[in-house]
Amino acid sequence: MQQVLATFLRKVLVILLVSFISLSSFAVSSQPSFAATSTMQEMDSEQSVSDREQAYEEQIKAEKNLDKVFEENVKEYRKENPEEGIIEKTIEGVEKVADKVTGKK
Predicted confidence at residue 102, as pLDDT, reads 83
Cα separation, 74 vs 100, in Å, equals 20
Over residues 18-68, the pLDDT tens digits come to 887 877 766 555 555 555 555 566 666 666 777 888 888 888 887 888 788
**Percent of the chain predicted with pLDDT > 70:** 74
pLDDT confidence of 9, banded at 50, 70, 90? confident
pTM, two decimals, is 0.30
The rounded mean pLDDT for the chain is 76
Predicted confidence at residue 36, as pLDDT, reads 55
Cα separation, 105 vs 15, in Å, equals 70
Question: What is the dihedral angle through the alpha carbons of 24, 25, 27, 29, rounded to the nearest 10 degrees?
Answer: 160
Domain ranges of the chain: 2-102
